[in-house]
A = this chain, B = another copy of it.
Amino acid sequence: MTGERITAKVLFEPTPKDPILVCGMPGSGYVGKLAVDHLIESFKGKKFTEAYSNDFPPQGNVRENGVVSPIAGEFYMCETGQKRDLLVFTADAQPATTIGEYELSEWVLQLAKKHGAKLVFSLAAYITGAFTAEQRVFGAATSLELTSKMSEQGVRLMKEGAISGMNGIITGMAKFYGMEGACLLGETSGYLVDPVASEAVLDSFSRSLEIVIDLASLRDKAKEAKQVIGQIQRMTEQESAGRAGNPSGQPGYIG
């Protein structure tokens, strides 16, 4: 690995059917990470390649029973049994440097392209800093065809702005590698792990691409989370009501 910033360990060579690359990285709200973990679980994904980057945070992760493993990126082959298979990429952490984010993004795109992917989806969080009852999903893509398909399914198209981190790089650079890219961002406060937003994102993904996904187990987690968020909202409202002259106690609230 010396001299190389990324090293891969190939476990097997997948042969996916007209595959879509789906990326979800850990970050605020764990929206994208939870979403892709659900895809891997429900489609019984098989890990086919691991990636080690010299720009990952310098540490070893310890699991429950004292077993240690390095920070890694993981590629899963998900056979859907439907028209298109999924190649899912996720990681324990995002790289700690700018160049590390670019290089890992490009490594992911190149490998997905090699396995026949022509379409790339990043699942991400849209951080608002406030607890809301709505579960809006925002979107952006490299082509108007994709944006209109997403728009038809209720996704709100982003206006001018930026998608930061690997989600933005992977979506934008997809075009450079001859693929189309899209990003779905689930609205979330950023304060809690948010399966509600993950469910909303996967629902948009499912309908935009006509891929059936069993969301039952994620819905159960989402229900619990909704109750917690509801409690927090009621507490916040009571607190706000108690403070005269400050009609909105929520920072960054998007009605």
Contacts and interface: CB of A to CB of B under 8 A. Distances in A.
11 contacts: A2-B110, A3-B103, A5-B99, A54-B102, A58-B165, A60-B163, A60-B171, A62-B159, A65-B157, A68-B171, A68-B172
Contact of A58 (B56, B70, B164): B164
A230 interface: no
A103 B172 contact: no
Number of copies: 4
Interface of A: 1-7, 9, 52, 54-71, 96-99, 101-103, 106-107, 110, 139-144, 147, 150-151, 157-169, 171-173, 175-176, 181, 183
B2 A59 contact: no
A140 B64 CA distance: 10
A98 B97 contact: yes
Main secondary structure of the interface of A (DSSP, over half): mixed
Given A62-B140, A163-B68, A183-B60, A52 B99 contact: no
A161 B96 CA distance: 18
A67 B168 contact: no
Contacts of A172: 60-61, 68-71
Contacts of A99: 5, 54-55, 97
A183 B59 CA distance: 12
